[in-house]
């Protein structure tokens, strides 16, 4: 039975089609194993290359039966190897490395840009004029005369607001942060 395609001069003969089948997977591993290992070494280094190689062929073995018989097997395996190697790099980046000594954690106390949420929460509880007087005098270094101008009151009232604000902080903030028996 012969059919012609009107759009081309090609004659379609179904009885003459070659049946292309996939090689046994073991042959694929033998043929392309060294290429896959080189790709894995290039991405993850020699220590993790064997893990990436194994993961590559496990994934490939699962997908191999569905692979198009005309597909470029080498390119397909290299793509899988590259992705598996990147997965290993990502995992290794998230895993803690055991050491004999625990490094000292840097402190942010007193550094510009540091943020003490507990102190801010305590300051936030103060009335506005007390909070402003404490911030302007103790954090900004302004004299009470300047604070009085900003707040629209007298230097005595600004000093009193600052004093009351510090007293309130000593009652609310310091008990949480200073161990018992020590004096702030």
Q: Where are the domains of the chain?
A: 20-94, 117-177
Stated pTM of the model: 0.45
SS3 135: helix
Residues 6+ apart with CB under 8 A from 91: none
Better-scored residue on pLDDT, 2 or 21: 21
Tokens 């759009």 belong to residue: 7
CATH topology of domain 117-177: Arc Repressor Mutant, subunit A (1.10.10)
- Distance CA(145)–CA(137), nearest Å, equals 10
Q: Do domains 20-94 and 117-177 have the same CATH topology?
A: no
Residues 6+ apart with CB under 8 A from 23: 31, 73
Q: What is the pLDDT of residues 116-131, one digit of tens each?
A: 677 777 888 889 889 8
Better-scored residue on pLDDT, 125 or 111: 125
Q: What is the pLDDT of residues 23-52, one digit of tens each?
A: 999 999 999 999 899 888 878 888 888 999
- In angstroms, how far is the first alpha carbon of the chain from the final one? 101
- Distance CA(126)–CA(164), nearest Å, equals 9
Query: Given pLDDT bands bounded at 50, 70 and 90, which one contains residue 168?
Result: very high
Look up the CATH number of domain 20-94: 1.10.1740.10
Instruction: Give the pair of three-digit tokens for residue 141.
Output: 């270094």
Query: Given pLDDT bands bounded at 50, 70 and 90, which one contains residue 167?
Result: very high
């Amino acid at each position: 039975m012969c059919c012609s395609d009107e759009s081309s001069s090609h004659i379609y003969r179904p009885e003459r089609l070659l049946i292309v089948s996939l090689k046994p997977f073991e042959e694929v591993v033998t043929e392309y194993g060294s290429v896959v290992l080189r790709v894995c070494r290039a991405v993850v280094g020699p220590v993790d290359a064997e893990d990436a190689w194994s993961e590559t062929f496990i994934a490939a073995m699962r997908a191999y039966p569905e692979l198009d018989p005309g597909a470029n097997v080498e390119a397909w395996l290299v793509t899988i190897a590259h992705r598996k190697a990147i997965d290993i790099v990502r995992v290794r980046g998230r895993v803690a490395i055991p050491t004999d000594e625990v490094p000292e954690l840097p402190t942010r106390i007193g550094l510009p840009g540091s943020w003490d949420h507990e102190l801010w929460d305590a300051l936030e509880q103060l009335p506005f004029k007390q909070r402003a007087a404490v911030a302007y005098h103790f954090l900004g270094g302004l004299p009470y005369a300047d604070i009085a101008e900003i707040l629209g009151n007298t230097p005595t009232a600004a000093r009193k607001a600052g004093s009351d604000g510090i007293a309130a902080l000593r009652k609310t903030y310091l008990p949480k942060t200073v161990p018992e028996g020590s004096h702030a």
